[in-house]
Amino acid sequence: MHPAYSVILFTTASGAGYGLLALLGLVGISHGEASSLAFGLTVVVVALGLITIGLLSSTFHLGHPERAWRAFSQWRSSWLSREGVAAVVTYVPAVVFGAVWSGLIAAPALVAPLAVVTAIMAMITVLCTAKIYSTLKTIRAWYNPWTVWVYLSFALATGAVLLAAITSVFGNFPAFLVYFSSTLLALTTIIIIFYWRSIDAAPRDLTMGDATGLGRLGQVSQWEQPHSAPNYIQKEMGYVVARRHAAKLRRLVIAALLLAILVMLSALVVPFAALLSMALALFAAVVQRWLFFAEAQHVSSLFYGAKAA
Amino acid sequence: MTSLPPPSAKKLGLVIDLDTCVGCQACATSCKEWNMQGFSGPLTDTNAYGSDPSGVWFNRVHGYEVKEPEQAQSRIVNFPRSCLHCEEPACVTVCPTGASYKRAEDGIVLVNPETCIGCKLCSWACPYGAREYDQSQGVMKKCTLCVDRIYNENFEPEDRQPACVKACPTGARHFGDLGDESSKVSQLVAERGGYDLLPEMGYKPVNKYLPPRARRDATNTRAEALPRPDGSAFDRLFQWADKVLSPKKASARANEPDNSGQLEG
């Protein structure tokens, strides 16, 4: 599948934003209000900012951005519509929670209930994003039970390193955050390895003979393309560049995640190391997301000469 | 509404005969021509006369080579591919706006070009590669089954058929109601063993493909099976006539193996 940069930016930036929002909810539940107004506002603005940048980027990738509002209507059947609804609805508790938690509005009693709602809505939004991909039967690498966990774990892990990084800037850096974000990064590493093992092990048992139904006669191969230059289907579904470099890029993702963990642990001594860990984790997330698209093969590519899908 | 309507009794679709299709592209070009200004028009092209042309087509005719086990020569199968108007189309249910829909009355799957946001998700959901994005219009396009022809009362009844069906010079494309068991298309499917594309994916396509008929014994078309010169008086006469009638210069090549007495295999 063609890796559209807008979609990669959307899923990684919004993912990190929602992950951060969900973790702020946890902080709100366990610790109550933010330690300072400046810190609280900064974290909330970063979270909502990342979410907004991501959402805007995904909107600009549409053929008709001005019609985007129509996407809220089909939540009964479409995960993309559900994602749109969840994303917009999440703003309501998130903004109120942000104002109350940071201390902009003094209502300590409301912190916990708002935190719960915000955290749940943030995770539901990420789940909806993952479901868009994991319900597409036409793309075997996405139609996989691990897809949802990949999206959730990357959202939470990148959210956690963001939280650690911002906290390190504001001083008063608790060791707990280091352990917490390292654990999430480790969990994410394990999940992405399981995901890759799973898609590698999944049988690619559909052939050109199955797609055309001509397999019943004998061995099918492509004789002539229907057109002289690549069409939309080939450009959108037939992206193969990454598959050649997939092994290297996978190692790069794992190396970046492991390095992010080590650097995060070193933040116990030098708090600012959390910033470097954040950069590494975000880099890993972007490369992973690019691979997620570029490695995925679409069934329709069988009509255009793919051997198996 | 992108939730699917209850299954319709009427299931309009195409039956494509892979045995008689000659791959002439008449269906594809006449589709393009009609739909340039139809329900989903225009079907835009970019750089149409340049080195890298691209454009939107509803119908693409592939060519496949099939190597059959017991045959010395492989066969070519021309394979037109367009929207199959599935009974359970995932392209419809994934649509976030309701622009993609399946008509309750006849099962035709359409995209409303006025409300499509161009997110392309429907094209990802279709295993048949039937939907093509129109870059310059910013919306998704697909086969309309010529909904603007088949009910068009300005046309003579015999012309109320999809453009591709009307254009096919070998009668390889048939249009009708596949929900009605007594219809001509349903009978054709029953008679010829018409099949679904990728039935295992579960989208229940309405369009059916008629498989190429079994080949006649291939040995009777092979060179070895053709009559060879047997040294009879007729053969000698023809060889003499051939020699006499051949231009003089050709005699320089006369030392090469002479196949003139044989038919090309």
What is the secondary structure of A10-49 as a DSSP string? HHHHHHHHHHHHHHHHHHHHHH-S-S-HHHHHHHHHHHHH
- A129 to chain B, closest Cα gap in Å: 12
Chain B partners within 8 Å of A210 (Cβ): 198, 200
Q: Considering Cα of B9, then B28, then B101, then A127, what sign does the dihedral take? A: positive
CA dist B99 to A188, B120, B129, Å?
Answer: 37, 12, 18
In chain A, which residue's Cα lies nearest the Cα of B128? A300
Split at pLDDT 50, 70, 90, the class of B252 is low
Contacts of B61 in chain A (CB under 8 A): 226
| Predicted pLDDT at B71 | 84
Angle at B169 between CA B164 and CA B174, to 5 degrees: 50
State residue A238's pLDDT score.
Answer: 79
Task: Write the residue in A63, A77, A298 that is nearest to B138 by C-beta.
Answer: A63
Residue B83: both structure tokens together: 């929207």
- Cα of first residue to Cα of last residue in chain A, in angstroms, is 13
Q: Are B86 and B11 in contact (CB under 8 A)?
A: no
Q: Which of A72-76, B41-45, B226-230, B244-248 has the highest mean pLDDT?
A: A72-76
**CA torsion angle B17 B21 B25 B26 (round to 10):** -80
pLDDT digit string, tens, across residues A82-117: 999 999 999 999 999 999 999 999 998 999 999 999
End-to-end Cα, chain B, rounded Å: 59
Query: What's the rounded Cα separation, in Å, for the pair A301 and A212?
Result: 12
Please indicate whether, in this complex, the C-beta atoms of A77 and B64 are within 8 angstroms of each other: no
Helical axes A273-294 vs A5-31, angle rounded to 10°: 130
- Report the alpha-carbon distance of residue A238 to residue A297 in Å, rounded: 7
Give B83's pLDDT tier (boundaries 50, 70, 90). very high
Q: Give contacts of A 55-74 with B, CB under 8 A.
A: 61-65, 67-68, 70-74
A160-169, A268-277, B39-48, B176-185: range with lowest mean pLDDT: B39-48
Global pTM value: 0.89
Q: Which residues of A touch B129 (CB under 8 A)?
A: 233, 237, 298, 300, 303-304
Residues of A in contact with B101 (CB under 8 A): none
Residue whose token pair is 């018409």: B194
A68, A71, A138 member nearest B124 (Cβ): A138
Q: Is the pLDDT of residue B67 over 80?
A: yes
Contact A224 B200 (CB under 8 A): no
Tell me the C-alpha distance between A104 and B252, whole Å. 104
| Residue-wise pLDDT tens digits, B142-157 | 999 999 999 999 999 9
B196-251 pLDDT, tens digit per residue, is: 999 999 999 999 999 999 887 655 556 666 677 788 888 889 889 988 998 876 55
Question: Shortest CB distance from A222 goes to which of B64, B67, B202?
Answer: B64
Subunit contact A132:B67, Cβ cutoff 8 A: no
Contact A70 B96 (CB under 8 A): yes
Chain A CB contacts of B200 below 8 Å: 206, 210
Give yes or no for A305 touching B (CB within 8 A).
no
Instruction: List all residues of chain A from 136 to 175 with a beta carbon under 8 Å from chain B.
Output: 136-139
Q: Do A219 and B66 touch (CB under 8 A)?
A: yes
Pick from A231, A234, A293, A297 the residue to mutate for testing the B interface (most B CBs within 10 Å). Answer: A231
- What are the tens digits of pLDDT across the range A144-158? 999 999 999 999 999
Query: What is the DSSP annotation of chain B?
Result: --SPPSPPS--EEEEEETTT-----HHHHHHHHHHTSSTT----EESTTSSS-EE--S-EEEEEEEE-TT-SS-EEEEEEE-----SS-HHHHT-SSS-EEE-TTT--EEE-TTT-----HHHHH-TT---EEETTTTEEE---TTHHHHT-TTS-GGG-S-HHHHH-TT--EEEEETT-TTSHHHHHHHHHT-B-SSGGG----S-EEEPPPPPPPGGGGSGGGS------HHHHHHHHHHHHHS-GGGGGGGGSPP-TTS---
- When the pLDDT of each residue in chain B is averaged and rounded to a whole number, the result is 90
